[in-house]
Amino acid sequence: MPHVAVRHYVMGDRCYDGATANDIAAMASITRSGMAAGALGFTTSRFYGHLDKAGSQVPGTNATADEIMTIGEALAELDHGTMEIITDHLDQPDEQYWIEHIARQTGRPVTALVASNVSEKVWDLAERLPYRRPCRQFWPLASAAPRTRSP
């Protein structure tokens, strides 16, 4: 379930703005329904390099932690699913807080694409989260190539 598409579906042209409590509840409901129907997981982008065709950051880039945690918690009610994240904020305590919250509340695996120069805090987060068979709950996935941005 791509956050961008779910956000656009629920919010329409407002998808680039802040979400209301009703918007967030609707996004969580749609995610839960999609997952129950067989979706593999939920994915969100908080990477400033992901732009839409107009050159704007994709919807959800600046979503609040509350929005992402509420949507992520939809996985707790299911017996499958994973959450995937790409973010420019993985070293930030606030970002790590909601990632840890989702992993602990749902018991589902969370993966995050990280840059090769990410700090050790990310690996510490992976170690803090419990190993639940058949896999670890948080998987930082490092790219072999550095991310670059166009000027």
pLDDT tens by residue, 84-100: 988 878 888 888 888 88
Strand partners, 38: none
Residue 106 in this model has a pLDDT that exceeds 60:
yes
Angle formed at CA 45 by CA 19 and CA 145, multiple of 5 degrees: 165
Mean confidence (pLDDT) of the chain: 83
Task: Give the pair of three-digit tokens for residue 134.
Answer: 């058949």
| Whether residue 134 has a cis bond before it, omega within 30° of 0 | yes
Q: What is the reported pLDDT for 43?
A: 92
At residue 10, φ and ψ (nearest 5 deg) are: -75, -40
Percent of the chain with pLDDT over 70: 81
- Report which secondary-structure segment, H or E, holds 123: helix 121-128
How would residue 118 be classed by pLDDT, with cut points 50, 70 and 90?
low
Residue 7 in this model has a pLDDT that exceeds 70:
yes
How would residue 101 be classed by pLDDT, with cut points 50, 70 and 90?
confident
CB 61 within 8 Å of CB 50:
yes
At residue 16, φ and ψ (nearest 5 deg) are: -90, -10
Residues 50-79, mean pLDDT to the nearest whole number: 89
How far apart are the C-alpha atoms of 107 and 129, rounded to whole Å? 10
CB 32 within 8 Å of CB 74:
yes
Percent of the chain with pLDDT over 90: 35
Q: Which residues contact 96 (CB under 8 A, 6 or more apart)?
A: 90, 121, 122, 125
Q: What is the reported pLDDT for 23?
A: 98
Exposed, middle or buried, 5 (CB in 10 Å: 0-12/13-18/19+)? middle
Residues 132-146, mean pLDDT to the nearest whole number: 59
